[in-house]
Amino acid sequence: MEKEVHEQYEYARRRLRQKKILYFHFVLFLLGSLFLFIGNKFFGFGEGTTQNWCIWGITIWLFLFILHFIKVYITDRFMNKKWEREQIDRLVALQQKRISQLESSINEENENKI
């Protein structure tokens, strides 16, 4: 039972760390977007380039944030250690089945030769 409690604790700790980093990324995105926008509109950074270069930067950053969000709340939520163990067990069972089929076919061939 202690092993299960420890695994639950480790899973909760890992999920909490993922969410904490995601929230930090969100705050950093908001502040960074604000500074990019203010720098472009009020201080004239990048005047020789495209007028709304900050919109492109913010859009790309938003896309990266959405990917991070999907990883934390969708992918890692369902593809955790339990899922990995189930997949490994399934693949091992398939390998063992295939090995037993090969062994039985080899044994049949050997019996037919004798």
81-105 pLDDT, tens digit each: 778 888 888 999 999 999 999 888 8
Q: Considering the entire predicted model, what is its pTM? A: 0.65
Q: How many CB atoms lie within 10 A of CB 40?
A: 21
- Amino acid letter at 10? E
Claim to verify: residue 58 and residue 114 sit in the same structural domain: no
- Are 61 and 34 contacting, i.e. CB atoms less than 8 angstroms apart? no
Long-range contacts of 79-86 (CB under 8 A, 24+ apart): 80/11, 81/7, 81/11
Token pair belonging to 78 = 């369902």
Distance CA 89, CA 100 (A): 16
Overall domain count for the chain: 2
Claim to verify: residue 43 and residue 90 sit in the same structural domain: no
Claim to verify: residue 32 and residue 43 sit in the same structural domain: yes
Claim to verify: residue 65 and residue 114 sit in the same structural domain: no
Claim to verify: residue 56 and residue 102 sit in the same structural domain: no
Cα-only R_g, the chain: 27
Claim to verify: residue 73 and residue 97 sit in the same structural domain: no
Claim to verify: residue 102 and residue 71 sit in the same structural domain: no
**Crossing angle of the two packed helices 2-41 and 53-70, in degrees rounded to 10:** 170
Claim to verify: residue 30 and residue 63 sit in the same structural domain: yes
- Are 64 and 24 contacting, i.e. CB atoms less than 8 angstroms apart? no
pLDDT in tens, 16-50: 999 999 999 999 999 999 998 888 877 776 666 66
Which residue range is the domain that position 110 belongs to? 81-114
Claim to verify: residue 69 and residue 85 sit in the same structural domain: no
pLDDT of 21 reads 95
The length of the chain, given as a count of residues: 114
